[in-house]
Structure 1
């Protein structure tokens, strides 16, 4: 079939953020918009000739249509094979695993992660490289540069193919292989964890609930938890993926997963509960009567990972994003292993994992993962927690209290000010930057702009967020998020350390109240944003 070359004019603002390009769905549906970004991506990686790609997404609105466009373009650009999840579904960690297992050249993942889905909501696309991880800044910079000068794209005039049927078909000279999205991922999980121990835990009456939030992890959790591990039917809530996530917000935190939180905090709630997000790479962990912060979850998993067969060898190191609390650092110090502090964005962990410098990684934004793939992995974190609980025969609350009595507690919270006028948000950050070069205000040891030098390739990433270090050990971080689609989101991260012999049971927001007041005094945040309180507090 003949290749069709179609002219196109560049679209403004197609710069990939920390997790690819995210815009409103209707923007992606504009004629040529998706095509311009995809062709720019293909050109940035040296073309597609003879290459193999993994393609899939979280099933949100426009996912299926976008995949058909990508397949035709990949074929027209000379790709040899595209591996696609059945019905266009692939969780982000499952896509990473497929890229690695099938030795693909890369992958196109369609998702806006935890953002809402629907024709009036959000859509996204990102390119992952051959190691299964998000494209590094050197690649995304090339993609963006290409979007500014693109003049045309290549496609085929072929009809849509049936993505519901597992098997192979041809699009032009390219083979499209439709695979079960769960099989390879489930096999990997069984290699890493003691499924017999987890199965015995569940058979012994330990109750579990997993909220898939009508997003992509529904089929994965149902197959593994209810199928392989024998949890009762109904363990997985909201397990059917929907294009609008049931009109919900697929972000696994106490705000958007409140029904699950209410359930586990009730008198007859389950022993363990968890949730995952739109594309399956984030997680929320809960125990009866207790919420585990993502920062604490990373630290607890780092301290206990050796209980799972896949990590019995021990950890090479632990890595966390800069805004994430320093709880994992304390575990690493006690274990005598390296702790790395990176900018926000999972791509920064890729080099550390590939080089064998780190085994576990995590971000405060509910992302945890390991060297099994090159993405954060929500269901993986849930299974590791279950493996730990099965081995230690303790409740979530008891495991957490034991951890704090050993390492101390980092009281931690993130306050989000969403859809702030961009000019106002940038001015707040600029003023904080100016304070870093002068005499420190009373009670503050240091203010700096976080810069990261990659210990593997020497690349430097600057201006990754402002850090404020207070006398007495408290820390606050302020940065602008790269995952929103409207205005600017100011993220304020607050952390106060209490040693093992201190009061470990204070309410988190109460413990952090003096720090909140100190930051507001420093930045005049509430007045300048016009907000009495954060839009979201986790």
Structure 2
């Protein structure tokens, strides 16, 4: 077979965001749009000849078609082999693990994460490097620059690969190994957690749980691990069949989108002790107790405080990192335990250097992402198994575990308000106006709160010295309260303005306030300072978590 060279016209809109290139399916179906970006990756990454590539996705619409294209382009690029998840399915953390396990040059992950799927939904592609983590900014910038100069791409002739059948196939002399998507990942989880204790808990008469896979990628993983390996009753996993449109739902594991799971756990006489959910590509998680929601920030803090109860972390952890908008609850654990802690920009790639250097073991983001040094991505099912192992050890409820944590460390009241699909021009004008105000905010008083400092967060990587500017506007009050403003990099329509509110409360007698009531004064200040309604026309956020 002769490699084909196809002439194309470059695109100027292929700049990856915090988690790769995400656009609507219709956008990806423009002539040679996917091919141009893949060729830009292959032209930029060094050492492709003879190397191993990991490939898979979350099963969303266009996943299978994209995989066949990428396989043909990988053969033309000279890869030594491609390892592909069965049916084209690989959760993002499982892909990260495979890259590390098989010493691959990297991996291509096809997902738009928590964004909706289907013909009218979104699609995404990102490249993960040899450590298993997302490509750093220098590489994504180089890929973007390359994409603007692509005038042709190389591709092998059409030879469809049977994605659903395990085995080794060949395309233009390049082996393609289709492997079971779950087996390697399950072995990794078993090396970290006490599966015997978790199994005893899941099979106990007094304990009942539900895991909502949201018709996304973790369905096969959860069925195999929770129900088959650990013996949870059949039906423990809800919506476990991956569907190209996620069953018409929004695969985002939060209170707004996992409504069925929320209803089960928050029923007046709920029979469930534990609830959890994961997202489109399996890297996010939501944790629920009976009538009790655990914020992702609190979840990271609780896991860090109790890590030595878990076999994989019995010898202690090296440190903790969180993204800047994430609440400061994990910091309080690190300070008490005498551990290093870090505040990074949003985007999992910023944890990679710290993990590789052994500076941290646990890390997390407020956007329902938590993980550890076992991979270089956030990992939804890992977080669920960590909580189950913790419940099995403590023989206590989710709520009691969190309340005891608050009693020891204090409570960080925390919430995120998302204003979705607002006009991009209006969003940029809002941010520009905020930036103009920053120098004058320090020292201003708003009710009982005084601004201690205000800035546009910049991060200097402590490992390689790289600097990331303009990572979010922070208004920091003298009592430790915070308001953060950021434009999200994960949406595909207009802009999403995220407003983060945080207030610390040490008094255990004040740990039962309604979260939004506790933060009401901060929301008022946020509106007053940023003039959100004036710029966007929105009276309230679309999603509050």
TM-score category of the 2 structures, normalised to the smaller one: over 0.9
Alignment partner of 1:150 is 2:150: yes
Other structure's SS at 2:257 match: coil
Residue in 1 aligned with 2:505? 498
- Measured against aligned partners, the alpha-carbon deviations of 1:335-373 in whole angstroms (never above 9, x if no partner) come to 000110000000000000000000000000000000000
Residue 379 of structure 1: how far off its partner (Å)? 0.2
**What are the residue-to-residue correspondences of 1:483-522 with 2, within 5 Å?**
483-522=490-529
Other structure's SS at 1:249 match: coil
**Residue 523 of structure 1, aligned match among 517, 524, 530:** 530
What is the CA–CA distance in structure 2 between the aligned matches of 1:271 and 1:402, rounded to whole Å? 17
What is the CA–CA distance in structure 1 between the aligned matches of 2:430 and 2:272, rounded to whole Å? 43
What is the CA–CA distance in structure 1 between the aligned matches of 2:421 and 2:270, rounded to whole Å? 38
TM-score scaled to structure 1, two decimals? Answer: 0.99
**Residue 276 of structure 1, aligned match among 274, 278, 281:** 278
What is the CA–CA distance in structure 1 between the aligned matches of 2:514 and 2:439, rounded to whole Å? 35
Residue 203 of structure 1: how far off its partner (Å)? 2.0
What is the CA–CA distance in structure 2 between the aligned matches of 1:259 and 1:233, rounded to whole Å? 18
- Measured against aligned partners, the alpha-carbon deviations of 1:9-30 in whole angstroms (never above 9, x if no partner) come to 1112100000000000011112
Residue in 1 aligned with 2:87? 87
Alignment partner of 1:231 is 2:238: no
- Measured against aligned partners, the alpha-carbon deviations of 1:157-176 in whole angstroms (never above 9, x if no partner) come to 13211011111010001100
Residue 48 of structure 1: how far off its partner (Å)? 2.5
Does structure 2 conserve the Cα–Cα contact (< 8 Å) formed by 1:251 and 1:276?
yes
Other structure's SS at 1:438 match: helix
Residue in 2 aligned with 1:50? 50
Residue in 2 aligned with 1:346? 348
Residue in 2 aligned with 1:258? 259
Does structure 1 conserve the Cα–Cα contact (< 8 Å) formed by 2:203 and 2:233?
no
Residue 435 of structure 1: how far off its partner (Å)? 1.6
Residue 204 of structure 1: how far off its partner (Å)? 1.8
What is the CA–CA distance in structure 2 between the aligned matches of 1:24 and 1:268, rounded to whole Å? 39
Residue 501 of structure 1: how far off its partner (Å)? 3.8
What is the CA–CA distance in structure 1 between the aligned matches of 2:533 and 2:519, rounded to whole Å? 16
Following TM superposition, the consecutive aligned residue runs of length 4 or more in structure 1 with deviations greater than 4 angstroms are none
Residue in 2 aligned with 1:478? 485
What is the CA–CA distance in structure 1 between the aligned matches of 2:189 and 2:228, rounded to whole Å? 13
Residue in 2 aligned with 1:463? 470
Worse overlay, 162-171 or 39-48: 39-48
Residue 215 of structure 1: how far off its partner (Å)? 0.2
Residue 529 of structure 1: how far off its partner (Å)? 1.2
- Measured against aligned partners, the alpha-carbon deviations of 1:189-214 in whole angstroms (never above 9, x if no partner) come to 00000011111112222111000000
Other structure's SS at 1:16 match: coil
What is the CA–CA distance in structure 2 between the aligned matches of 1:12 and 1:148, rounded to whole Å? 5
Residue 439 of structure 1: how far off its partner (Å)? 5.2
**Residue 444 of structure 1, aligned match among 446, 451, 454:** 451
Does structure 2 conserve the Cα–Cα contact (< 8 Å) formed by 1:435 and 1:447?
no
Residue 241 of structure 1: how far off its partner (Å)? 0.2
TM-aligned CA distance change 1:447 to 1:507, over 3 Å: same
Residue 51 of structure 1: how far off its partner (Å)? 1.4
Does structure 2 conserve the Cα–Cα contact (< 8 Å) formed by 1:48 and 1:74?
no
What is the CA–CA distance in structure 1 between the aligned matches of 2:289 and 2:467, rounded to whole Å? 40
Other structure's SS at 2:454 match: strand
Does structure 1 conserve the Cα–Cα contact (< 8 Å) formed by 2:441 and 2:453?
no
Residue in 2 aligned with 1:25? 25
Does structure 2 conserve the Cα–Cα contact (< 8 Å) formed by 1:81 and 1:177?
yes
Alignment partner of 1:247 is 2:248: yes
What is the CA–CA distance in structure 1 between the aligned matches of 2:271 and 2:72, rounded to whole Å? 49
Worse overlay, 330-339 or 42-51: 42-51
- Measured against aligned partners, the alpha-carbon deviations of 1:489-511 in whole angstroms (never above 9, x if no partner) come to 00000000001445111010010
**Residue 374 of structure 2, aligned match among 369, 372, 392:** 372
Does structure 2 conserve the Cα–Cα contact (< 8 Å) formed by 1:407 and 1:500?
no
**What are the residue-to-residue correspondences of 1:190-205 with 2, within 5 Å?**
190-205=190-205
What is the CA–CA distance in structure 1 between the aligned matches of 2:347 and 2:456, rounded to whole Å? 17
Residue 268 of structure 1: how far off its partner (Å)? 2.6
Other structure's SS at 2:251 match: coil
Worse overlay, 248-257 or 149-158: 149-158
Alignment partner of 1:112 is 2:112: yes
Other structure's SS at 1:457 match: coil
Measured on the aligned residues, the alpha-carbon RMSD in Å equals 0.9
Residue 380 of structure 1: how far off its partner (Å)? 0.1
**Residue 534 of structure 1, aligned match among 530, 535, 541:** 541
Residue 446 of structure 1: how far off its partner (Å)? 1.1
Alignment partner of 1:216 is 2:217: yes
Residue 49 of structure 1: how far off its partner (Å)? 1.3
Which runs of 5 or more structure 1 residues have no equivalent in the other structure?
none
Other structure's SS at 1:436 match: helix
Other structure's SS at 2:301 match: helix
What is the CA–CA distance in structure 2 between the aligned matches of 1:316 and 1:473, rounded to whole Å? 26
Residue in 2 aligned with 1:306? 308
Residue in 2 aligned with 1:394? 396
What is the CA–CA distance in structure 1 between the aligned matches of 2:477 and 2:333, rounded to whole Å? 22
Other structure's SS at 2:219 match: helix
Does structure 1 conserve the Cα–Cα contact (< 8 Å) formed by 2:406 and 2:508?
no
